[in-house]
Chains A and B, each alone.
Chain A
Amino acid sequence: MVFLFNIFYQFGDSLAFLLLAAIGLAVIFGMMKIINLAHGEFITVGAYGTVVSGKVFNLPLPIAMAFGVVITIIFGLILEKLIIRYLYGRPLDSVVATWGISLIVSQSFLVIFGPSYEGLQTPMGNFQLGEFSYSEYRIFLIFIALIILFLLYYLFMKTSFGTLARATIENPSISSSMGVDVKNVYTITFAIGAGLAGVTGALYAPTMTIVPSIGQAFIVSAFITVVTAGASPFVGLVPAAAFLGTVQTSVTFFYKSTIGLIAILCAVILIIRYLPKGFSGLILKTRSK
């Protein structure tokens, strides 16, 4: 029983990490076909926003987290206005430009805040099961990840903004002639993606050592999850994260965590090769049959 719970806990932890890492990237990629290589740095901004405001102004954790998210949204909006909006429709250039942004931001954090920053304490307590001790906060994160996913689904599928956004993605010029403010929709979608990255950074800030390269821990997981999920993120994200989580947990269980990372990277290479449209492509194909 304890053994089973142990595996479930590891798996859930890895699932939550992959989902939260990927969610903001999935919105931007799925909706706008822009690969945002600066996604990891958005997460960094969210984490630093939370920790610095928590430390300097002595804010309680939830307010510090909200502050971190707001900072990330503002940051995302500025970048969109200055650079990203000129690169819609140039996918390769947008990758390259966001890579440049990622270099600038991560190294600037290194210059400003130094190689590491004193972190916050993990909230909530631990509970004991058999001889192992588990963090309640990490269980909480699993549920948060699923709730966020559900809210996003609701936003894009059930609200009028969601309809406008999907119409814009489907065909920008026709939507525009029907009176949709296309630029505005892009800006808001990008801001949502940035905000989600900020949420991830804020949620994980109390659990990690805060270093300027914190985004890199997320970016690789984020990419592989989004790529495995395929073009339609809401359909594919959960199965993709579950699949990769299984691979990672089982390999890490038998070997060590670096081998676990290598295993999922290899799994992704194979997925792209044999399922180029990812899990969502597979699901949509079987559904249409």
Chain B
Amino acid sequence: MKTEFKKNKLQFITFLILGALPLFIDSFYLDNISYFMCWTFISLGLAVIWGMGGILSFGQTAFFGLAGYGFSVISINFLGVAGVSLWSIVLALLLTGIFGVIVGYFLFYGGIYDVFIGIVTLAITLVLETFMQQTAGPEYVIGKARLNGFNGMQGMPTIGFEKVPYGLVEGVTQYYFILILSIIILISLYKFKNSKMGLIFLASKEDRERVSSLGHNVQKIQLIAFTIASILAGISGILYTNWGGYITPDSMGLVSAALPVVYVAASGKKDFFSVFIGCIFFVWLSQTLAINGKQFAIIVMGLILVISTRFFPDGIILMLKDKLIKKVKWLQF
């Protein structure tokens, strides 16, 4: 297995530290770190399509919200059925994936490109937000689940972490679940990046027409990558819903839609590991700043976005990572 993942010591060390973390910090902080890591998946998805393929989607939150709502509706309806939390995840992700395929087909086979992809995806997430906001009435009910308009949905069962043996508390199991999931996804993304398909996708960013005139089906690969990104956004949505026990239309709004773009742009969209670490860092930063009011956090996020696009187009975290590796000889090879 000669993947980038194994060659890179920095990533090994980071994951060792993250893996050992539950031994050193108490469950409150651990729960917080789980929350930060919930956001890495949607950011990694955006890094796949934007960093590799140059497709900037503003509507990843549409998939985030759809998966969150889907998970809530399915699990509330089948409350008490054996293993409900597990297969409602699968069903919700399937739903998100199908929606991703439909949207992607529409975009790439419809010949929509560049900035227009951003506008269409933004429109989609705003449609979903607007629709969900006006579902307060009792007529908006799916089976047993009320959609609840502005207030959002609550009361979905948590993914059955408490049933896991070995005497682990719920928070720790959730933490390891998310950590292992992110490691698996990072490895798979590296594999995708180095596969033939990934290379074609990378090339399509430079010149779509030239790649397709070489005989590659660019649209198909773009569609596959877009679907991967939408499912990753869905994973974030489900984990977020599960972590907080609620999902609101706000999570698909204009401000929420900007946040993944901030995380990815400021971290370094071309490097998955930087996006992973950067996402955790920036979610932590915005949470810390939000103690004085959410608006301060958003102002700083906006500033970070402007500064990083203006001065560090390759991303701040990626630049720091490269500097660190250059300085510390031991980290090379």
A-side residues, CB < 8 A to B, are 35, 83, 86-87, 90-93, 95-97, 99-104, 107-108, 110-111, 216, 219-220, 223-224, 227, 256, 258-259, 261-262, 265-266, 268-269, 272-274, 276
Contact = CB atoms under 8 A, between A and B. Distances in A.
A272 B306 contact: no
B33 interface: no
B270 to A, nearest CB: 13
The 6 closest A-B pairs by CB, nearest first: A100-B305, A103-B302, A104-B302, A100-B306, A107-B295, A97-B309
Contact of A272 (B119, B254, B261): B119
Contact of B302 (A102, A224, A276): A102
Interface in B81-138: 106, 110-112, 114-116, 118-120, 122-124, 126-127, 130-131, 133-134
Nearest to A215: B254
Given A103-B258, A273-B106, A97 B299 contact: no
Identify which of B255, B306, B313 gathers the most chain A CB atoms within 10 Å of its CB: B306
Given A100-B303, A276-B111, A262 B298 contact: no
B279 interface: no
B43 to A, nearest CB: 14
Nearest to B295: A107
Given A101-B302, A262-B130, A269-B120, A96 B114 contact: no
Given A96-B309, A110-B295, A259-B134, 12 more contacts: A83-B306, A86-B310, A97-B306, A100-B262, A100-B302, A103-B298, A104-B302, A104-B303, A258-B131, A268-B120, A269-B106, A276-B110
Contacts of A274: 110
A117 to B, nearest CB: 15
Nearest to A99: B258
B316 interface: no
Nearest to B305: A100
Contacts of B265: 96
B54 interface: yes
B178 interface: no
B309 A269 contact: no
A92 B313 CA distance: 11
A285 to B, nearest CB: 15
A258 B134 contact: yes
Contacts of B262: 100
B313 A111 contact: no
Contact of B261 (A99, A104, A266): A99
B56 interface: yes
Interface of B: 54, 56, 106, 110-112, 114-116, 118-120, 122-124, 126-127, 130-131, 133-134, 254-255, 258, 261-262, 265, 293, 295-296, 298-299, 301-306, 309-310, 313
Contacts of B56: 92, 95-96
Contacts of A259: 134
B223 to A, nearest CB: 15
Contacts of B303: 100, 104
29 contacts: A83-B310, A91-B114, A92-B56, A92-B115, A95-B118, A96-B261, A96-B309, A99-B302, A99-B305, A100-B301, A100-B303, A100-B305, A100-B306, A104-B302, A104-B303, A108-B295, A108-B299, A223-B122, A223-B123, A227-B119, A256-B134, A258-B131, A262-B130, A265-B123, A265-B130, A268-B123, A269-B120, A269-B124, A273-B110
A91 B127 contact: no
Contacts of A268: 119-120, 123
Contacts of A107: 295-296, 298-299, 302
B126 A265 contact: yes
Nearest to A212: B295
Contacts of B124: 265, 269
A95 B116 contact: no
A20 to B, nearest CB: 20
B130 A261 contact: yes
Nearest to A267: B123
A272 B111 CA distance: 9
Given A93-B309, A216-B254, A273-B112, A262 B131 contact: yes
Nearest to B109: A273
